[in-house]
Structure 1
Amino acid sequence: MRPFAALATGLLALTAFSHAIAGTTLDRVESHKELVNVLMESYPPFSFLNEQNQLDGFDVDVAKAVAEKLGVKLRLETPSWDVIAAGHWSGRYDICICSMTPSQARAQVFDFPVTYYASPAVIVVNAKDDRIHGAKDLNGLKVGLTSASSYESYLNKNLVIEGAEQQKIDYPFEAVQAVPYDTDNVAFQDLALGAGVRLDAVLTNLVTAQPRLKQDTRFKLAGAALYEEPNAVAIEKGDPQWDAKVREVFAQLKADGTLARLSQKWIGADISK
């Protein structure tokens, strides 16, 4: 066989194998009797380690409800966010119920069957900082955020939300120094050191910010919300059977009130509407 023909045959085999992995998620879940959900270890109140050192939170409970509807057990995996958001999971994970914003860039590697809650993006600053009153005041400053997040795309002025392309997103600044972190926790620790010591602000989700704002007088909101941020369930791209099943399960969880109940439990309001 000529080298080119051998290479072509190998590529075809690899492509077929990749499609086989991508198209059999539901079969794998049912066969293993296990749903593998990937999420962040520290993103309260959506996912975090509780006093028993167990994963807890809104996303965790939603994943449990999905596994129950499927009649399987749940396994949670917590790699870094950049690993989660990069996609190309190759069958390691089945689903991401993990507060992912469906950007156009991510839509190249993921499908987003369901948007299961929405909350605005906000700026948090040190309580003693009177310099920042909105996004226009971030110009030239250091802003902490989760690595590979939609917030990083926002500061880079190239955020396009998949399915909400008509949403106008304003960028009233020239250039901001984005400072990526593995988790919000460390970013807030640095912000607590004082205005401009390590950070000037943190860009995050309003729901995530609210517990810190209530419990810690070192932080405050700066200005109005920046943009509405839908959060979707993400799955590996190109698996219509699994996509349809995920849509079916979330329709059930919405219809029977589970999503609203869990939202009230963890957020104090129904953000699943």
Structure 2
Amino acid sequence: MESYPPFSFLNEQNQLEGFDVDVAKAVAQRLGVKLKLETPSWDVIAAGHWNGRYDICVCSMTPSKARAEVFDFPVEYYQSPAVIVVNASDNKITAGKDLSGKKIGVISASTYEAYLNKDLVIEGAEDKPLSFPFDNVQVAPYDNETVAFQDLALGTGVRLDAMVTNLITARERIAQDPRFKIAGDALYAEPNVVAIEKGDAQWNAKVTEVIGQLKADGTLGNISQKWIGADISQ
């Protein structure tokens, strides 16, 4: 994605950079192949059935039960909590229960959208069901998180009451723009994985091996320190 800092975004030279971009570069270098970055919309990525258009998603994907029908998830490469972001002037939304009846912005086809619809099951964590402390919410899907933040900046209830997103991207945005703040504790923790199309055991094993090497030799930790200021890869 082109507007998901610090994981992937366009810099002032109109070049893609960020945590995920550097991880993808490291994977390609370790494989000895030329990297070609593609940034289709998230709903296109998450739908799967790539038909050879892409080989791998290093794109902060959470392994949901629904996605496991079309993807294999060779390896987890970081974890990040999901949080509520509100307009800085808002004092009414302070916890998950306060989302009831509110209009909440999320990336379209994201796990945050599934969570707010109460149908998210994280693959591999079926024994730890998520809690949904809110009644029904009005979900507002966006193709672009930057646009959602712009709408939230207009004031609580103008176009949005809040957003649900990744703690790290939220902190990044808030550091640049004081019109927003995080409300309450994290909603749940999300594992983030590299994803490949289902059914290629050899490619699955190779990706697992390469990411394992990048973890073991500190490359992933260094990339994490560079972009996040902490090692979120372990």
Contact 2:85–2:182 (Cα < 8 Å) also in 1? yes
Aligned-pair CA distance for 1:248: 0.6
**How is 1:116-135 mapped onto 2 (pairs within 5 angstroms)?**
116-135=77-96
Q: How far has the Cα of 1:211 moved from its partner? A: 1.3
Structure 2-normalised TM-score? Answer: 0.99
| Residue of structure 1 equivalent to 2:42 | 81
**What is the number of residues matched between the two proteins?**
234
Distance 2:207 2:185 in 1: 34
Q: Which residue of 1 aligns with 2:208?
A: 247
2:70 to 79, 96, 109: 109
Unaligned 5+ runs, structure 2: none
Give the letter aligned to residue 158 of structure 1.
D
Structure 1 residue ranges without an equivalent (≥5): 1-39
1:37-52 to structure 2, matched below 5 A, reads 40-52=1-13
Alignment match of 1:61 (pick from 18, 22, 27) = 22
Query: Looking at CA atoms only, which structure, 1 or 2, has the larger radius of gyration?
Result: 1
1:256 matches 2:209: no
Q: As a proportion of its length, which structure holds more helix?
A: 1
Tell me how large the CA RMSD over aligned residues is.
0.7
SS of residue matched to 1:93: coil
Secondary structure of the corresponding residue to residue 225 of structure 1 = strand
Q: What is the CA–CA distance in structure 2 between the aligned matches of 1:221 and 1:46, rounded to whole Å?
A: 19
Report the equivalent of 1:97.
58
SS of residue in 2 equivalent to 1:198: coil
1:172 to partner: Cα distance: 1.2
Runs of 4+ in structure 1 over 6 Å off: none
The answer to whether residue 103 in structure 2 is matched with residue 142 in structure 1 is yes
Structure 1 window deviating more from structure 2 (209-218 vs 244-253): it is 209-218
Residue 168 of structure 1: how far off its partner (Å): 3.3
Q: Is the 8 A contact 2:121 2:129 kept in 1?
A: no
Q: CA deviation at 1:213?
A: 1.6
SS in 1 for 2:199: coil
The aligned residue for residue 216 of structure 1 is 177
SS, match of residue 52 in structure 1: coil
